[in-house]
Chain A
Amino acid sequence: KNQVEQSPQSLIILEGKNCTLQCNYTVSPFSNLRWYKQDTGRGPVSLTIMTFSENTKSNGRYTATLDADTKQSSLHITASQLSDSASYICVVDLQTGANNLFFGTGTRLTVIP
């Protein structure tokens, strides 16, 4: 069964600290793995996209890694800011097209001063 699981479910960190969010998937065959950020009351916004052949992609303080062999991805946030408080969603594309995306339930990150 194609699934995307994220951990932890929620996380609280101090401003300025780093954190890493995890994503494990069983989607196969997959073409892309994406990370989205969703602020409360807003739609998700794309942070990174990696093809199955890439193993890292950065977007400012956000760095995503991918290990296609173990079917794991992580999103590392460096020097967190209050504005990083949001849900982070891992999304895996089935090779058959953009209408075959599998969404994780997200990690709710809260950054406190």
Chain B
Amino acid sequence: TAGITQAPTSQILAAGRSMTLRCTQDMRHNAMYWYRQDLGLGLRLIHYSNTAGTTGKGEVPDGYSVSRANTDDFPLTLASAVPSQTSVYFCASSDMAEGDTQYFGPGTRLTVL
């Protein structure tokens, strides 16, 4: 079982360009999340989706958008990247049947220049 995968592993992006970070899970979890992790800060929630077809804003949603067309995929889009979006991005999924324990992907390291 792959669990949860993210792509790309890392990316360098010019400011102003757009980019989509991909996230796929094969555990049939109902909920999915996007976090960013910055040095000295705890993981911060960007957007979440409690079930396919629904999304919600987290603590730091500005500059990001998400969609949840199906259970397995939860892409994160940066429409016009800025240097402050340089971070490591983690996708996670969870299911109430497993106590909402979040399973994290390996992360995408994004550098915006």
> Which residue numbers of A lie inside 8 Å of B, CB to CB?
4, 32, 34, 41-46, 49, 89, 93, 97-99, 101-106
Query: Are the C-beta atoms of B42 and A89 separated by less than 8 Å?
Result: yes
Query: Are the C-beta atoms of B106 and A99 separated by less than 8 Å?
Result: no
Query: Are the C-beta atoms of A34 and B101 separated by less than 8 Å?
Result: yes
Say which residue of A4, A32, A45, A49 sits within 8 Å of B42 (CB atoms).
Answer: A4
Measured between alpha carbons, how far is A45 from B104 in the docked complex, in Å?
7
Chain B: interface residue total (CB-CB under 8 A) = 26
> Which residue numbers of B lie inside 8 Å of A, CB to CB?
4, 31, 33, 40-45, 48, 50, 56, 58, 90, 92, 94, 96, 99-107
B50 to chain A: closest residue by CB: A99
Chain B residues whose C-beta falls within 8 Å of the C-beta of A43 in the assembled complex: 4, 90, 92, 104-107
Measured between alpha carbons, how far is A60 from B107 in the docked complex, in Å?
26
The 7 A-B pairs at the shortest CB distance, nearest first, are namely A43-B104, A103-B42, A98-B100, A99-B48, A103-B43, A46-B101, A105-B42
Query: Are the C-beta atoms of A42 and B100 separated by less than 8 Å?
Result: no
Query: Are the C-beta atoms of A46 and B102 separated by less than 8 Å?
Result: yes
Q: Can you spell out 8 A-B residue pairs with CB atoms less than 8 angstroms apart?
A: A32-B100, A34-B101, A43-B4, A43-B92, A49-B99, A49-B101, A93-B100, A98-B96
Rounded to whole Å, the gap between the CB of B69 and the closest CB of chain A is 19
